[in-house]
Amino acid sequence: MKRISPNCLLLLIVMAMHTLSIKAQVLTIDSCLSLARQNNKELRHAELNIEKAQQVKNQAFTNYFPQVKATAIGYHSLHPMVEVGIDDINNASVRDLLTTLYGNYGAALGLDNTISLFQYGYQAGVTALQPVYMGGKIVAGNQLAKVGVEAARLQTQITERDLLEQVEESYWLVVGLTEKQQTLQTVTALLDTIHRTVQVAVNAGLALQTDLLKVELRQSEIHRTQIQLDNGLVLAKRALWQAISQTTKSPTSPTPPKEGLPDYNSLQVEPIGADSALQAPPLKEGYGEVPESSLLSLQVRAAELQRRMHIADALPQVAVGAHYGYSNMQANFLRHGLGNKTGNGAVFVSVSVPLTDWWKTGHKIREDNIAVEQARLEEQHTNELLGLRTQQAYDKTVEAYSLVSENRHALDIARENYRLSGVNYRAGMGTITDLLTAQTTLLQAENNLTDAIISYRVNLRRYTDLTK
């Protein structure tokens, strides 16, 4: 047995790994959709809106609970806020007694002839306020916050759906152009065979030189078509790459954003295949639970809740509360100061009745009534358009499905026509023009079938999104 050298073995391993890498880089429609969900920034932005709306909902829920506040204040004024002197006492006997005492003992005891109050001190307290009746504003606010969360979710669904439709359309465009490229390669090979056959015939004097020129002219046309097709495929791959990777890196030096994502240059997709499983979609009445319809219903609900909150502003508001405070007020009766330290608590009921805002609130409520009616009209109008869109999507899908069948039949005819044209030309019963025309018809039939299948898949996706 002949032994394999280490260098040769290493080369085989590298080639095998390269082959596996190429296979791993083939993208399916499902893998493209998955990558788009992972990488799309707009979709991520919409998902963050859900989280933000959830925080607004959590914030609204806290309005059901007591509001607790702690306050503290300390002060020191340049002059006492209150001064009471001996001369300010109205009772004459008391005033005379204090005057005598101050004259005899004031200096010795450090007494002042005035009492100074509220020159310095501090106060602190805690207040708890529990809403009892707010006119339904707290309930409406919480319901409105829930509507906001649901609206954010529906908007995310719309963003995701539009993204996936874009990705699928880009994907099938790459598939279609790849199929056409392969078809054109087959046509090129057929033309090369025809060219060799005609060249032999010309050399043998059995065909005219013009026949050879016609074949070469057709080869030139196919070559130009190939260039245009290659450029179109590059652009289509670039669009698909941007949709699934969200990167604008140059395709010459790609940087895959996710593990497992192939680089741009090796981007491949699954071929169409035989598509024998193509079936006409069943017609469904109207439209399904599409996000647009549900979102409009939420807009009506939001307008109604907004009106309810404005009505609450015109209703009485009742709350119960409790307060405890502590104060230390310094009196300057003695030069060293005399403290007045007290603590006290209380419970209370608060009733607030708006008196001057009725007129303003009435205008606001009438404005809200108009907004509710507008939201309902928009909902009805959009639902009518959705029904029309659904029917149009169905008609386009059925039309594309029918074209697939018709183009398959046309392709069978084109193949047979090309075969017979070749037989007739070789037998001297047909011209080279007939053969080239049959080849052109065959190419067009192949491309028409590819376009029909791609159109069917794209339209079927849109119809399915409207009827889920």
pLDDT in tens, 243-269: 888 665 544 333 333 444 445 555 566
Whole-model pTM over 0.75 = no
Residue 222 CB-density burial (10 A; 0-12 exposed, 13-18 middle, 19+ buried): buried
Query: What distance in Å separates the CA atoms of residue 100 and residue 423, rounded to the nearest whole number?
Result: 147
- Which parts of the chain have pLDDT scores under 50? 1-24, 250-262, 276, 333-338
Q: What is the pLDDT of residue 163?
A: 92
Query: What distance in Å separates the CA atoms of residue 7 and residue 43, rounded to the nearest whole number?
Result: 49
Q: What is the pLDDT of residue 83?
A: 67
Query: What distance in Å separates the CA atoms of residue 285 and residue 274, rounded to the nearest whole number?
Result: 31
b/e per residue 45-59 (b: at least 16 CB within 10 A): ebbebbeebbebbee
Walk me through the domains of the chain, giving residue ranges and CATH numbers: 17-64+134-315+354-467 (1.20.1600.10)
In tens, the pLDDT along 91-141 reads 677 666 667 766 666 666 556 666 666 667 778 889 988 898 888 889 999
Q: What is the pLDDT of residue 244?
A: 86
Q: What are the φ/ψ torsions at residue 72 (nearest 5 degrees)?
A: -150, 145
